């Protein structure tokens, strides 16, 4: 199963904005985090999603992927109480079986004992192009400079936050994805898994 832990912070940000909770109200945000009922399941629609994200009985897969939620999620994720409230939820999912977890503190905080840690890197310019392309595919138009500024600000907040700052784990393998295709990156990761886990490959990425 693929699980992007950023989902939980995005879902929390969505609930906070919908309920008029100030993004600097750590106590109320932490309370919402403790009450969060989120479910991730295989994709039910062929619209580019990698999975469904449900809040109670509501599909919020794309509702949590807007630029507004991008900004808000980075803000709520900076609070110690919020991260503490959501940490065990993430760990339970990570220990539930064969899981690939993505996030900015997985190898350092959430799953420090993970057998394979990969830090996928790319230049700000390249990431902005990818993000702009993804947004356009969903009908959201944004200039490259606007997207770059949003990403740069999010990176700054995540690097400088006091709790679980964004950084690669010491034993993570850093892969620069600039100029590489998805297929090339997947091949590199699969080789790494084979080397670290001593396991044979059963399914090859097309």
pLDDT digits (tens, 9 = 90+) for 150-201: 999 989 988 998 888 999 999 999 999 999 999 999 999 999 999 988 766 6
Record the tokens describing residue 102, joined without a space. Answer: 């993505």
3-class secondary-structure state, position 2 = strand
- Residue 206 is predicted with a pLDDT of 47
Provide the residue-wise pLDDT of the chain in tens; the chain has 206 residues: 788 889 999 999 999 999 999 999 999 999 999 999 888 888 899 888 888 999 988 999 999 998 899 889 989 998 999 999 999 888 988 887 888 999 989 999 999 999 999 999 999 999 999 999 988 988 889 999 999 999 999 899 889 988 889 999 999 999 999 999 999 999 999 999 999 887 666 555 44
> What are the structural domains, with CATH classification, of the chain?
2-197 (3.40.50.300)
Q: 141: buried, middle or exposed (CB in 10 Å: 19+, 13-18, 0-12)?
A: exposed
Is 174 within 8 Å of 168 (Cβ atoms)? yes
């Amino acid at each position: 199963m693929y699980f992007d832990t950023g989902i939980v912070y995005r879902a929390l940000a969505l609930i906070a904005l919908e309920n008029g909770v100030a993004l600097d109200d750590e106590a109320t945000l932490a309370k919402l985090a403790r009450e969060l009922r989120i479910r991730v399941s295989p994709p039910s629609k062929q619209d580019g999603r990698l999975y469904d994200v449900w809040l109670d009985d509501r599909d919020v897969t794309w509702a949590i992927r807007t630029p507004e939620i991008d900004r808000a999620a980075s803000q709520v994720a900076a609070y110690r109480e919020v991260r503490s409230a959501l940490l065990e939820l993430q760990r339970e999912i990570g220990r539930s079986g064969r899981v690939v977890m993505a996030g900015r503190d997985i190898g350092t905080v959430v799953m420090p004992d993970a057998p394979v840690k990969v830090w996928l890197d790319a230049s700000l310019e390249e990431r902005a192009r990818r993000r702009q392309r993804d947004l356009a595919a969903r009908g959201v138009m944004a200039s490259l400079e606007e997207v770059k500024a949003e990403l740069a600000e999010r990176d700054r907040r995540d690097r400088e936050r006091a709790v679980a700052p964004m950084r690669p784990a010491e034993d993570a393998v850093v892969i620069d994805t600039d100029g590489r295709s998805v297929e090339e990156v997947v091949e590199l990761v699969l080789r790494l898994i084979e080397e670290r886990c001593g396991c044979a490959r059963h399914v090859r990425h097309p």
